[in-house]
Chains A and B, each alone.
Chain A
Amino acid sequence: MTVESRTTEPAGRTSTLATLVREFRAAREAKVKTNFFGYVFIAPALILYLVFSIWPMFRGFVMAFTDYRFIYPKTLWAFNGLKNFREIGSDKVYWSSLGISLRYTLMVIPASIVLALFLAVLISKVRHFAGFYRWIVYLPVILPIAVTLLMFGQFYGEKFGFINVNLRQLGVAKPPNWLGNVRYALPCVALADIWRGIGFPTVLFLIGIYGINAELYEAAAIDGATALQQFWKITIPLLRPTFLLILVLSSGIVGATEQMMILTGGGPQNSTRTIGLYFYQVAFQFGDLRMGYSAAMALSLGLVSAVLTTFWFRVLRER
């Protein structure tokens, strides 16, 4: 009796998506008997998904073209075409917070990637305890975000925070109020975010590094390559898909909202008011609760993300 098991491991370039599309076409040609129970079985999941994920997706998109203000229920479908987007063009707060978001992204992502790569290389070199290191590196990611950020809030505390108390002991007369200082607030939040997020790219890099054939390194060593050369010429190029994956998945950081909400509430003189925080405030906290306008901003943000992602694909495309 042969054991028939169908694996869907991606082979080379084919993704599971391509395999599925092929299967779909094949099944369509063969006349398959319709099993009614199939629909019954997928119904609960599908209904949940349609109602709570697909519908909000449509509604959010449409909302961007309406002047929907939550406290006036009549404006539910008040279409106003592209007026929201024209208003965005002249909204100074929008552009300043977009700038802050982009600065924030530049602070977080490069540092995260470099640190994660460093950690991944380290972990890949140990034989024992690799599992333990992987576990502990990912720990900050799973901590509740509010806990992490409030913890850093205390860490950065002006009077009793770890940094300042130790700085005073080292002789620094007036250590700054980190989160209350216009220049330092954003980098401090960025540091907290890097701390929190580092585990994810590290694990991804690890998976990539594990996938590299060890013989490549041996062959290079025989040819006289130093460890550093091996790193630059073998590891980095072969990790290109991983870089791409990480950059694509991290592009959501442009819309960072919670970090600012919890740590600074927009920060000293709005220096940490990212675009995410701004449109959250517009939708849920300020004045008329203008969800339509907010949705328009969110849509524009989505476009920015899409542009970024396309950019990464172009630059890091597989040759």
Chain B
Amino acid sequence: MATTTVRRAKSSPWARFMRWASFEGFFTHVVMVIVLFVIFVPFLWMVGTTFKDRLEFATNSGAIVPRRFSLVNYGYMLTAMENLPIYMRNSFVLAFGTVALEVFTSCLAGYAFARMQFRYRDLIFVGMLVSLFIPRTGGLMAVYELMSFLKLRNSILGLILYFSAGVPTAIFIMRQTFLAIPKDIEESAFIDGASWFQVFWRIALPIAAGGMVVIATLSFIGVWSDYLTTFTLIDSDTQMTISVGVQKLRTTGLYESALSPRFRGKFAGEAADATMFLTAALPVIIFYAALQRWFMKGLMEGAIKF
């Protein structure tokens, strides 16, 4: 009697892989990865450059991946660029300061517009939104003059105040967030005798934390990367942020004798600059990577206004 083996349904890893990567989807992925790689060539090249020492840079500058890795640029950047920590600190102070101020003011205002009744409430809100569409021509000069007048020109504090004035979008988002909270919780709190501020602080705010994160993310990223306003308003080294300071910290063209013997002849100016550029971008990249869900949400809510 001949035995016939029964063929079991193929569930080998290969078969499962082929089912997962249906032909069309897989092809699209491949194209996508190639496209993205091409797009990111400048960025990848810069990252590769940070690992090249002087010899490697001079001979193999065109390659993305260095033949020989070296950390001399990082060493140089961390020890010899004196203003780097100052600039970084200023950037952080500016970013977090703006976030704090903006979140604080927009939460208060958003809650008031959402839940409180007062005369002209809606008029003020609509007026604020509409005024966003009026272009601020000559704005930079007017701001320069204003800051000079307020003696806030060359200061991080001045910048914080200026950037925090972008509240309308934040207020809009917070108002949406507060409107979506069911009113019963607040009402029962009022019945129990809570004041407006207590209701706001203990009940509404914790629930609306998501909206706050959205605003914080948008603000941080927007403020960290700013160039024009910061460049215009700030001159002194003690107040400079890293996003503008990258231009000043460049070592290309620096005389060899100005460097300490440890570094002379070891590294290329451009490579050291590349390292600094990457470092300037790193905090915002990390922030963006960690909070991208909220960032995307904030983007879309901002666009929905239209």
Contacts and interface: CB of A to CB of B under 8 A. Distances in A.
A63 B108 contact: no
How many chain B residues sit at the interface, stated as a range, is 35 or more
A3 B182 contact: yes
A125 interface: yes
A161 B112 CA distance: 55
Contacts of B176: 8
A234 interface: no
A35 B167 contact: no
Contacts of A61: 137-138
Nearest to A36: B118
Nearest to A162: B45
Contact of B119 (A20, A34, A53, A245): A34
Interface of chain B: mostly helix, strand, loop or mixed: helix
A48 B116 contact: no
Interface stretch (B6-14, B28-36, B72-80, B255-263): B28-36
Contact of A5 (B104, B140, B179): B179
B280 A44 contact: no
Nearest to A155: B42
Nearest to A118: B35
B143 interface: yes
B166 A53 contact: yes
Contacts of A169: 62
B227 interface: yes
Contacts, number: 284
B109 interface: yes
Given A53-B136, A127-B25, A162-B62, A42 B113 contact: yes
B42 A16 contact: no
A139 B285 contact: yes
Q: Is the interface of A mostly helix, strand, loop or mixed?
A: helix
Interface in B250-279: 250, 268, 270, 273-274, 277-278
Contacts of B243: 144-147
Given A122-B35, A146-B247, 18 more contacts: A5-B181, A16-B304, A41-B108, A41-B111, A45-B108, A52-B165, A53-B131, A60-B139, A70-B144, A125-B24, A125-B28, A150-B246, A150-B250, A165-B61, A198-B39, A203-B299, A283-B140, A294-B138
Interface of B: 24-25, 28-29, 31-32, 35-36, 39-43, 45-46, 49, 57-58, 61-62, 101, 104-106, 108-109, 111-113, 116-119, 121-126, 128-131, 134-146, 161-162, 164-168, 171, 176, 179-184, 196-197, 200, 221, 224-228, 231-232, 242-244, 246-247, 250, 268, 270, 273-274, 277-278, 280-281, 284-285, 288-289, 292, 296, 299-300, 303-306
